[in-house]
Amino acid sequence: MIFDWRFTLEITPMLLRAFLVTVEATLVGMAIALVAGLVWAILRRSRRRLLTGAASTLIEFVRSTPLLIQIYFIFFVLPEFGLQFAPLTTGFIALGLHYSAYTAEVYRAGIEGVPKGQWEAAVALNMGRYRMWRSVILPQALPPAIPALGNYLVAMFKDTPMLAAITVMELLQTAKLIGAQSFRYLEPLTMTGVLFLLVSLLSSQFIRRLELRFAVRP
Amino acid sequence: MDTLELMKNLLPGLKITLVITLSSALLAFVAAFAAGLARLSKVRLLRALALVYIDFFRGTSALVQLFWAYFALPLLGIELNAMTVGIVVLGLNIGAYGAEVVRGAVQAVPRNQWDAAAALNFTHATAMRRIILPQALVAMLPPFGNLLIELLKSTALVSLITLSDLTFEAQVLRASTLRSAEIFIIVLVIYFLIAQALNQGVKMIEKRFTLGRDYGVIE
């Protein structure tokens, strides 16, 4: 069986539409990861031992268990406790929470990179904790973290096909469906791979430029 | 069925998960060194081939690679069983990430180590084997440890190409008992424990390799 270009052309619009769902899942997931990760990172700097310990354990646990099981957990277990989400929403939450464990580490590195004198200066100026984080620490901690966050955006993008396991009609699930209906898996799956490859390669180029832009100045 | 019995039902799956993790780790290790060193080769063709391999496996999603190898490859006349597909695809996938680790670590060894080896009349190959790699290896171990955990986590994906690993068995058990909460918590904890064990293992190897070294260790 050889590669059928006409069939490929025929299914391309369907795949592109599904690709939008993939992009949507990535962007919403990343938005959650960016916010939640920052919360974990700040909690880890809290003065309360219990809070820092809980945040560290949670991050470690999320990072060392498979995303697929976490997706299943949110999809199958939470409804037993009255929390039921649509498949795509489940995907947003799972991707967002999973990657928040990674972004938290990135933020932590950024925060630890802020010189000690800056914290002391904020205290000396009698700033409240909120003012200190907002006006002194974060503006210095975040820019160096941007390229690493970009890498996790690409990693998350490549993890979205897992949502096919809970019937989200993203790229891979659509390719699978086309394959099942037409008995031709070669073209839809190859096109799926090509789309992922194109976007990943382009975005890693973009991240390389970000790295130059936000490189820490000595 | 009590919790202990649930666990007993998950055991065959656990065995498959462990077999896949270890086999693909072995393949990934070999692939990482082959591609990482090829990237540094003087032969342009080798460099290009390694780059294509690395970009291809890092640029597409692991699950898409698994599906492609399992569903599309047979249409091109290459039929592999699910176990082989799982081990080969995951091994090559993590190997591509490992190749960049190998390349980075070898490049991080100070230039004068090469010069010293040349001054002592070492051939390029001997210098690489006896002088450069032993130092680079120390720098590779922590990122390799992280990749090993990534590999363990991605083995869950083989359940989607019909392999009955831990994740697959959990799904089967959930369908037959409907005790989702218990089953998935057990499975999450099992993965967590395996990850901790792998972490400890890598730390032990790290200790072994840095034993008695107070120089030549790359920070």
Q: What ipTM does the predicted assembly reach?
A: 0.90
- Do the Cβ atoms of A58 and A137 come closer than 8 Å? no
Is residue A22 helix, strand or coil?
helix
- Whether residue B27 contacts residue B96, with contact meaning beta carbons closer than 8 Å, is answered with no
Domains of chain A by range and CATH?
6-214 (1.10.3720.10)
pLDDT tens for each residue of A25-75: 999 999 999 999 999 999 998 888 899 999 999 999 999 999 999 999 999
Structure tokens at B26: 């072995």
Q: Which residues of B touch A158 (CB under 8 A)?
A: 60-62
* Average pLDDT of span A100-112: 95
Q: Is the dihedral of CA A1, A175, A63, A24 positive or negative?
A: positive
Residue A201: which of B55, B152, B174 has the nearest Cβ? B55
Measured CA to CA, the distance from residue A174 to residue A168 in angstroms comes to: 9
DSSP H helices in chain B: 3-39, 44-59, 62-67, 82-108, 111-119, 124-126, 133-154, 166-177, 180-210
pLDDT digits (tens, 9 = 90+) for B139-149: 999 999 999 99
Contact A145, A114 (CB under 8 A): no
Nearest Cα neighbor of A197 from B65, B98, B158, B104 is: B65
Find chain B residues with C-beta within 8 A of A151's C-beta: none
Question: Structural domain boundaries of chain B?
Answer: 17-163
Return the half-sphere exposure (C-beta side, CA atoms, 13 A cut-off) of residue A177: 14
Q: Find chain B residues with C-beta within 8 A of A204's C-beta.
A: 59
Architecture of domain B17-163: Orthogonal Bundle (1.10)
Q: How far apart are CA A218 and CA A72, in angstroms?
A: 46
Q: Which two tokens stand for residue A85?
A: 């989400």
Cross-chain residue pair B75–A160, CB shorter than 8 Å = no
Q: Which chain A residues are Cβ-neighbours of B97 within 8 angstroms?
A: none
DSSP label at residue B2: -
For residue B219, what pLDDT is reported?
Answer: 45
As a whole number, the mean pLDDT across chain A is 93
- Taking only the tens place, the pLDDT of each residue in A11-23 is 999 999 999 999 9
**Residue A217 carries which DSSP code?**
P
Interface of A with B in 139-198 (CB under 8 A): 158-162, 164-165, 172, 175-176, 179, 184-186, 189-190, 192-193, 196-197
DSSP classification of residue A215 = P
Asked whether the predicted pLDDT for residue A218 surpasses 50, the reply is no
Which tens digits make up the pLDDT trace of A163-215? Answer: 999 999 999 999 999 999 998 899 999 999 999 999 999 998 898 888 888 86
- Greatest distance between any 2 Cα atoms in chain A: 74
Residue B115 class from Cβ within 10 Å (0-12 exposed, 13-18 middle, 19+ buried)? exposed
Contact A69 B174 (CB under 8 A): no
Q: Is A83 on the interface with B (CB under 8 A)?
A: no
Cα-flanking dihedrals φ and ψ of residue B24, to 5°?
A: -75, -25
Tell me the one-letter amino acid at A60.
E
Higher pLDDT among residues B96 and B74, named by residue:
B96
The share of chain B scoring above pLDDT 90, in percent, equals 86
Q: Rounded distance, CA B156 to CA A67, Å?
A: 8
Task: Write out the two tokens for B142.
Answer: 């922590």
At residue B202, the pLDDT reads: 94
Q: Are A36 and A97 in contact (CB under 8 A)?
A: yes
Asked if B177 and B169 touch (Cβ cutoff 8 Å), the reply is no
pLDDT at position A216 over 70: no
With CB atoms and an 8 Å threshold, state whether A73 touches B184.
yes
A126 touches chain B (CB under 8 A): no
Is pLDDT of A217 > 80? Answer: no
Residue type, position A78, single letter = L
Kindly identify which residue of chain B lies nearest to residue A67, measuring between CA atoms.
Answer: B153
In this predicted structure, what is the pLDDT of residue A1? 59
Q: Is the pLDDT of residue B218 over 60?
A: no
Position A3 pLDDT exceeds 90 = no
Residue B3's pLDDT band, with cuts at 50, 70 and 90, is: confident
Average pLDDT over residues B171-177: 93
Of B135, B130, B147, nearest in space to B105 by CA: B135
